[in-house]
């Protein structure tokens, strides 16, 4: 189970962070107030959790020099730094530690910014970026920068190699290419890539130390999404990369309007059946495993009767955000109808399915939906089937039968079919 590690000596501030992450992003958290507690959690704790990001106070009682950041980055954990003091000297010191970003504690919107960073880092785990440059030194530098944000990085030393890599790797969402390279230059590479990949599906960022004034406009006219002059500061680099990734995601969301539920943003029932049938056919040929889950919000009618339909809508959106944040791009997450949801998880066996869906159940149970001045608790019951059976409908019926049993036996639980 992947979690968020919070390292903060202020108990009050740590509580605010924990509530923000667990309520809005549905991720589990662990809290350490000192360097010593941090090392215990990572090295001696019986659970040995897997952290995909850490939110860290730069100055701790037993590590005032920020050495806890060095410790965590050495462990391969992306780090977002919180600091109450900031000047140019502090900025240089922070960036030298290869952190994801820094956030000022005194900034009113800092918590929202932290949430956006945490979501970005989690999404990046599933995104590949192709770096194209004839200089191994430059490729290594860009790789190090991108891996701090947990991207999967591929390299090519020329345009021909880049085109071959792109054709073999459909997960590539961005190309960062130099201009001056032996043979085909970055402009020609951009033109060729654009023959098969639109700007809204694959971002291209041109980079160069060449001082030609019109080079940036030349890249953009050839189909690039952005351009950066070398050398650039890492802070600007990250802002540009993140901005382009978010633009790709925004365009994709707009395209998907017709197949999405307007309230929750999840796939609608029609899309679910159209797409899930293809996966189910593959599962019947033993080429992949599937887990189908039916999820129902407990006592939803009572919520509507007690707090009103606006509160009911907020709870539906709240649970949907938890679902979207928990599953991979290859999985199908849909609003099945009313307060019921359906998930088809690809290449997930029975043991993993119980862990994933029970983690989801517990995270929703811990969270609260904010409606006006009220914090409304919510739980879900989940039925899961990992046997494809003779049809998708049969598989869903078995999951639905387990959901019915879960609700009959007390709610707020996960049951798997035999």
CATH number of the domain encompassing residue 288: 3.30.70.270
Residues 96 and 205 in one domain: no
CA neighbor of 268 nearest in space, from 341, 357, 345, 360? 341
Number of domains in the chain: 3
pLDDT at 133: 97
Q: Indicate if 162 and 50 belong to the same structural domain.
A: no
Tokens, residue 415: 């049951």
Phi, psi of 59 (to 5 degrees): -120, 110
Both 248 and 170 in one domain: the answer is: yes
The tens-digit pLDDT sequence of the chain (418 residues) is 579 999 999 999 999 999 999 988 889 999 999 999 999 999 987 766 789 999 999 889 999 888 999 999 999 999 999 887 777 777 888 888 999 999 988 777 889 999 999 999 999 998 999 999 999 999 999 999 999 999 999 999 999 999 999 999 988 999 999 999 999 999 999 999 999 999 999 999 999 988 777 899 999 999 999 999 988 999 999 999 999 999 999 998 888 788 999 999 999 999 999 899 988 888 887 768 899 999 999 999 998 888 888 899 999 999 999 898 888 878 999 999 999 999 999 988 888 999 999 999 999 999 888 887 888 899 999 999 999 888 999 999 999 999 999 999 999 999 999 7
- Residue 354 burial class via C-beta count within 10 angstroms: exposed 0-12, middle 13-18, buried 19 and up: middle
Whether 328 and 391 have beta carbons less than 8 Å apart is answered as no
**pLDDT of amino acid 87:** 74
HSE of 402 in the Cβ direction (CA atoms, 13 Å)? Answer: 23
Q: What is the pLDDT of residue 104?
A: 87
Same domain, 56 and 166: no
Question: Residue 284's pLDDT is what?
Answer: 80
Buried b (16+ CB within 10 A) or exposed e, 176-212: bbbbebeebbbbebbebbeeebeeeebbbbbbbeeee
Whether residue 38 is found in the same domain as residue 154: no
Domain that holds residue 140: 126-255
SS3 (DSSP) at 378? coil
Distance CA 418, CA 409 (A): 17
Do 283 and 326 have their domain in common? Answer: yes
Single residue among 222, 255, 288 that ends a domain in this structure: 255
Domain match, 207 and 293 both: no
**Is the separation of the CB atoms in 35 and 65 below 8 Å?**
no
- Residues 239 and 209 occupy one common structural domain: yes
Domain boundary among 255, 290, 325: 255
Task: Select from 14, 39, 44 the least CA-distant residue to 29.
Answer: 14
Give which of 294, 335, 292, 295 is closest to 317, Cα–Cα. Answer: 335
- CATH classification at residue 111: 3.40.50.2300
Q: Please identify, among 99, 123, 147, the residue that sits at the C-terminal boundary of a domain.
A: 123
C-alpha span between 26 and 39 (Å, rounded): 25
Q: Which residues contact 343 (CB under 8 A, 6 or more apart)?
A: 291, 292, 293, 295, 323, 327, 331, 332, 333, 334, 357
Which residues, including other chains, have CB under 8 Å from residue 303's CB and lie 6 or more apart?
297, 311, 312, 315, 376, 378
For residue 389, give the nearest of 355, 418, 415 by alpha carbon.
418
**Element (DSSP H or E) covering residue 102:** strand 101-104
**99 and 132 together in one domain:** no
Judge contact between 381 and 357, C-beta under 8 A: no
pLDDT at 1: 56
Same domain, 71 and 113: yes
pLDDT value of residue 373 = 80
Q: Are residues 103 and 142 in the same domain?
A: no
Q: Is the domain of 324 the same as that of 404?
A: yes
């Amino acid at each position: 189970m992947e979690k968020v590690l919070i390292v903060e000596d202020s108990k009050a501030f740590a509580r605010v962070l924990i509530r923000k992450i667990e309520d809005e992003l549905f991720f589990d958290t662990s809290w350490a107030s000192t360097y010593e507690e941090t090392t215990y959690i990572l090295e001696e704790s019986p659970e040995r959790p897997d952290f995909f990001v850490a939110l860290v106070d730069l100055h701790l009682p037993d590590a005032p020099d920020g050495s806890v950041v060095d410790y965590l980055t050495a462990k391969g954990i992306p780090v977002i730094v919180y600091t109450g003091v900031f000047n140019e000297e502090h900025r240089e010191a922070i960036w030298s530690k290869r952190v994801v970003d820094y956030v000022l504690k005194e900034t009113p919107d800092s918590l929202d910014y932290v949430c956006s960073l945490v979501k970005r880092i989690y999404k990046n785990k599933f995104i590949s970026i192709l770096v194209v440059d004839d200089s191994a030194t430059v490729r290594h530098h860009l790789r190090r920068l991108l891996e701090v944000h947990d991207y999967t990085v591929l390299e090519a030393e020329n345009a021909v190699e880049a085109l071959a890599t792109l054709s073999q790797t459909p997960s590539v969402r961005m190309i960062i290419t130099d201009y001056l390279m032996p043979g085909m230059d970055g402009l020609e590479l951009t033109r060729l890539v654009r023959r098969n990949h639109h700007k809204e599906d694959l971002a291209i960022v041109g980079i160069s130390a060449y001082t030609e004034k019109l080079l940036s406009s030349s890249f953009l006219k050839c189909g690039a999404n952005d351009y950066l002059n070398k050398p650039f500061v890492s802070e600007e680099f990250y802002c540009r990369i993140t901005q382009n990734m978010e633009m790709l995601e925004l365009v994709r969301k707009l395209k998907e309007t017709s197949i999405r539920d307007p309230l929750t943003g999840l796939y609608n029932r029609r899309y679910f059946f159209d797409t899930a049938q293809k996966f189910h056919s593959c599962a019947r040929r033993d080429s992949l495993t599937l887990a189908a889950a039916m999820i129902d919000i407990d006592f939803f009618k009572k919520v509507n009767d007690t707090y009103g339909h606006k509160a009911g809508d907020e709870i539906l959106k709240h649970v949907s955000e938890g679902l979207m944040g928990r599953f991979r791009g290859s999985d199908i997450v849909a609003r099945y109808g009313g307060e019921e949801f359906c998930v088809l998880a690809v290449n997930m066996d029975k043991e993993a399915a119980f862990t994933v869906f029970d983690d989801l159940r517990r995270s929703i149970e811990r969270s609260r939906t904010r409606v006006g001045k009220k914090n409304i608790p919510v739980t879900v019951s989940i039925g899961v089937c990992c046997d494809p059976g003779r049809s998708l409908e049969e598989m869903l019926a078995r999951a639905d039968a387990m959901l019915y049993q879960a609700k009959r036996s007390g709610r707020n639980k996960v049951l798997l079919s035999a």
